[in-house]
Structure 1
């Protein structure tokens, strides 16, 4: 009996040992087998293949027990190599300050529009004599421009002479008759001569009330916008065929050259209110500059401007911004800045191209050296230090002043960045910015 019990016990032990071995083998088979890249451990797959980054064959790995927890430090070590750059380079911090800056502008010399005058006809009549013969003829204040026959002026003169002779005691009526002649364009000197000689003049002189030079109404003053009228090339047909005069390049067909005759003629009739001449006083000129849209808010009235003349190297003028145009011209993305030229200028001529440098002080902002910001074309990047490594960070830049660039967004005063971002460039694909 005892022998049978021993045999039974031996059989039970053998069966238990076999079950344990089968359970152990089953447990090993149940262990998860995964495949990973030796160079990029973050790549893990359930089946064999190749790494999508370096295209190496994946190797098998078996995970026993609980999964490894990916901590922040471990995640930093496992991140792709093109996201951070580890190097021993000099670093800087953005500096918050206000920096003196300048903006370059291009412009043109033009007339002071407050000194462009129109001389209209105050009476209707016929031009008997014309003393202004050509455009740009210089005239002085009080100079006789023409003599006009006007029945209305003749009648007004005779009315004044009748009152002076028949009712000298009626001062109010005589003064009213004088005032009527003044409103018709008569001067006090003409009235005194009329009363003194007691003879009405059948031709009345029209005098210039301004100094300057004459511009007829078939001539326009130069503006800050170059002419867009194309010049017909020789042989292209039309009215311009064969015109090889270089002086007409860029000019409209209706604009005469300097010295051409005015449209007024002796013997022609004029009507009341008809514009006769324009007079331009060139003693005060201004320069109109085009300033980029991004710089409009930086420039204020009174900002100093240094004007240079490309055709006159070494010549400079110091002026100030007087006016900022509050709108953009159609089709342009530039604002216009007006600068009055100081005093009577011998250097400046109307229509002359000039350059200007306006100075101003920026508002307090973060500034870094230009070498610390990398321009990728569509965005700008600075390399911020994160736990000993440098990570590319998108930044928004503003004004550039000398070797400094303004950072509007993307960095703070406490950030540490690489002093020179150029060392990062191996290829454009090397810089990867996390959004």
Structure 2
């Protein structure tokens, strides 16, 4: 009985700590403002003529869904926290198996709550304009020749698995097969809650060390690939592109690994002549759809370019830009002579390489990066005394 009492006391301490964290999350998420916004948006959606402007109506309904989700998540967590405390109080009045079951139930609730609050805390760190929206991810081979093209394909598959784990929808805009091994590049659009905020942790150079699968002498090879992450622009941000500033080319679609793809000349390449930006899309079945996808990506890249010009500094959206090669990597994936994946910014590492590359288990690295970046930003912020001074 004494052991059960001690266990219950320890769980109650954990629940108190979770309650404090939940209160901080509620503050970070500005939950009272979101409750008010839910009521406001519900009134707007019920008004006559709301759907006359379809794009605006869809945008507002998406905002309503996000606000409701945040409110329901926090309120649900408060309810589970209260249930767990009630179970412990009830267990204190009982003995034997009944008390043990209630304590076990409270412990399980505390464990699940800790995971959920971790997720809510992560979301609360996303304060950028586009962090809660969708993302466009581009993967390109760097130093390493043919091996880099294979590494690009490995990263592409890793991100596809990661997006599936998160429940995000992925559209493959472009993924042409390389001549010998791997792919020339990949561009995907990722739709889901906090997709851009999460995935911007992946922007940068990724380094792979392994025994070369194409070398008869089985020598160790180091290869690189670069990952670019930019936001899908909301409908209310309009980037004007003059028709004379673009060249549109149509060509035959292709795909990685002999996959069945469209066999008509529907793939589209758009070149923005003033900047030299090139965007290609071949996933859709028609030229019109591929051109529309290309224009969406081109507008996002032009918006990013404009931010760079205005700030005259490193782009906060895309992250630091370096050559895709030695000395610039953000993360290393070592398959030989030992196995390890290590993020060189946050220090997060694991020896379970298979879970990362084959199963897309990237959350520890993504969360670790944002925790590192948030701490770095707080350390760089001036103290309140300095501001007053």
- Answer with 1 or 2: which has the greater Rg: 1
Same fold per superposition (TM over 0.5): no
TM-score by length of 1: 0.17
Specify which structure has the higher proportion of strand.
1
Compare relative contact order (CA 8 Å, sep 6+) and give the higher one, 1 or 2: 1
- Give the TM-score taking structure 2 as reference length: 0.18
Structure with the largest fraction of helix:
2
